[in-house]
């Protein structure tokens, strides 16, 4: 069962409760339970194929878990549709960038902001006051977020024409635009050089300081150790550790999972 842990302890924001996810005969997640506390940066790590992204997919409604429940602020998420879950306050980025390539950066972010908007066809056709207000607010927010992510120059470029790093930043901006309480980043530093990773670290902290909780999947151990308050480690779909970074680093099970156990020690 989950170890009691240290770190910034707020009330639980997201609870993953005994989630199992099977694909045919393969068990991708095996009775996983952990919680994300409000205001913390939680790392989710594990070797390739450990089930990290599957975990994201279950949380965001892409997959229906075979059993178990996910709760955000006490509200059950399982069997809700994906866009509803987003509106309840979870936003994510993708391991492989999935922007809207033929839309401008600004529009990409506006789509995220639209998650909080309610204008539909009649409102847009009649240009009702709500449409005008939402357009103005959405645009302003989108520019702010592009600024925040350090890519204001990209606003009018098509997403597919942006350099790789800007695309990653744009994805985060788009996710933030949905107004999430919990931001899930799936390997945001993939393909970044050390300087860019440093920048990203600072950015993740600033996101937390804005009052958002961050769940981070990352391979780069240094990055994870440097920024997270707490780390959950998965291996083969099971949780093998849930502790503060220093404790995780010292955990022999984690070391074994990452480095393998030497033959003579076994």
Partner 1 sequence: MSTGGDAPRRSAGGRFVDGLRTVDERRVAGLAGIRSRWRALPLVVRIAALAAVAVFFYLLPNLAIPLIPTPDTNFASVLFTVAVYVLVAVGLNVVIGLAGLLDLGYIGFFAVGAYSVAIFGSPASPLATKYPWLMLIPIAIAVSMVSGVILGGPTLRLRGDYLAIVTLGFGEIVRLIAVNWSITNGQIGIPNVPAPPGKFPDGSPLFGVIDTRPFYWLALTVVLICMFGVKLLENSRVGRSWLAIREDEDAAELMGVPSFKFKLWAFAIGAGLGGLSGALFASRQGFINSNSFDVLTSVLFVAAVVLGGAGNLAGVTLGAVLISYLPERFRGAAEYRFLFFGLALIAIMIFRPQGLIPSRRRAVELADRKREAEEEVTAGA
Chain positions contacting partner 1, by CB under 8 A:
23, 53-54, 57, 60-63, 81-83, 86-87, 91-92, 94-96, 98-104, 106-107, 110-112, 114-117, 119-121, 123-125, 127, 131, 134-136, 138-140, 143, 155-156, 158, 174-175, 178, 186
In the complex, what is the shortest distance from the CB of residue 89 to partner 1, in angstroms, rounded to a whole number?
10
Q: Which is nearer to partner 1, 117 or 249 (CB)?
A: 117
Burial class for 116, CB neighbours closer than 10 Å (0-12, 13-18, 19+): middle
Closer residue to partner 1 (CB): 65 or 138: 138
Helix H, strand E, coil C: the string for the chain is: CCCCCCCCCCCEEEEEEEEEEEECCEEEEEEEEEEEECCCEEEEECCCCCCHHHHHHHHCCCCCCCEEEEEECCEECCCCCHHHHHHHCEEECCCCCCCCCCCEHHHHHHHHHHCCCCCCHHHHHHCCHHHHHHHHHHHHHHHHHHHHCCCHHHCCCEHHHCCHHHHHHHHHHHHHHCCCCEEEEECCCCCCCHHHHHHHHHHHHHHHHCCCEEEEECCCHHHHHHHCCEEEEEECCEEEEEECHHHHHHCHHHHHHHHCCCHHHC
Minimum CB distance to partner 1 smaller for 156 or for 264: 156
Rounded to the nearest whole angstrom, what is the least distance from the CB of residue 244 to partner 1 in the complex?
Answer: 30
Residue (90 or 223) nearer to partner 1, CB: 90
Nearer to partner 1, 67 or 140 (CB): 140
Minimum gap (Å) between residue 153 Cβ and partner 1 = 11
Phi and psi of 197, rounded to 5°?
Answer: -65, -40
Q: How far is the CB of 115 from partner 1 (least distance, A)?
A: 3
The nearest distance, CB 9 to partner 1, in angstroms, is 29
Least separation in angstroms between CB 146 and partner 1? 10
Comparison of 124 and 261: residue with beta carbon closer to partner 1? 124
Spatial contact of 8 and 36, defined as CB atoms under 8 Å apart:
no
CB of 98 to partner 1, least distance (A): 4
Are 70 and 36 in contact by the 8 Å Cβ rule? The answer is: no
Tell me whether residue 112 or residue 245 sits nearer to partner 1 (CB atom).
112
């Amino acid at each position: 069962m989950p170890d009691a842990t240290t770190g910034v302890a707020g009330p639980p924001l997201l609870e993953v409760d005994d989630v199992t996810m099977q694909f045919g005969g393969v068990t991708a997640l095996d009775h996983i339970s952990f919680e994300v506390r409000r205001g913390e940066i939680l790392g989710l790590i594990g070797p390739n194929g450990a089930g990290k992204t599957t975990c994201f997919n279950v949380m965001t409604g892409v997959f229906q878990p075979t059993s178990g429940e996910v709760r955000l602020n006490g509200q059950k998420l399982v069997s809700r549709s994906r866009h509803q879950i987003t509106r309840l306050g979870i936003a994510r980025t993708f391991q492989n960038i999935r922007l809207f390539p033929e839309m401008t950066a600004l529009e990409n972010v506006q789509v995220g902001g639209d998650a909080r908007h309610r204008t539909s066809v009649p409102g847009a056709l009649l240009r009702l006051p709500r449409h005008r207000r939402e357009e103005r607010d959405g645009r302003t927010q989108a520019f702010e977020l592009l600024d925040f992510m350090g890519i204001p120059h990209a606003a009018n470029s098509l997403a597919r024409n942006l350099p790789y790093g800007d695309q990653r930043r744009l994805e985060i901006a788009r996710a933030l635009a949905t107004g999430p309480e919990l931001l899930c980043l799936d390997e945001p530093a993939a393909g970044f050089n050390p300087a860019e990773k440093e920048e990203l670290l600072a950015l993740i902290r600033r996101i937390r300081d804005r009052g958002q909780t961050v769940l981070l999947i990352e391979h780069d151990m240094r990055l994870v150790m440097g920024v997270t308050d707490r780390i959950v480690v998965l291996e083969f779909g099971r949780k093998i550790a849930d502790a503060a970074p220093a404790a995780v680093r010292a955990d022999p099970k984690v070391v074994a999972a990452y480095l393998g156990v030497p033959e003579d020690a076994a």
